[in-house]
Amino acid sequence: MTDKPNQRRWRNLLIRRDVQLPIIATNLVFLAVVTAVLIAVLLSPLYIDMLHGGNLWLRQASGKLFLILSVDACRDIISAWVITVPVE
């Protein structure tokens, strides 16, 4: 019994393009919407306090926390993309 090498390439990755491409596109749009809503919900209280906060300390603390969470979220998103990209 001989083992054949894997012949899977990018050009023949999809089996039924007419079915799989709309599903992939819909899932990507859904992922983008969920990510945008999640980021907006998590960062909007800090953003509102940063712009319309009562005292200066509240604005400074909200601004610092907003920047820290923004950088962490960007790093996590980039890391997730790097991990999920297939390498040939």
Structural contact between residues 36 and 49, judged by C-beta atoms closer than 8 angstroms? no
Across the range 1-10, mean pLDDT stands at: 67
Q: Is the pTM of this model over 0.75?
A: no
- Using the 8-state DSSP alphabet, how is residue 1 labeled? -
Tens digits of residue pLDDT in 40-87: 888 888 888 888 878 888 888 888 988 898 888 889 888 887 887 766
The whole-angstrom separation of Cα 56 and Cα 62 is 10
Tens digits of residue pLDDT in 13-41: 777 778 888 888 888 889 888 888 988 88
| The pLDDT value given to residue 86 | 64
| The pLDDT value given to residue 51 | 83
Sign of CA dihedral 45, 51, 56, 59: positive
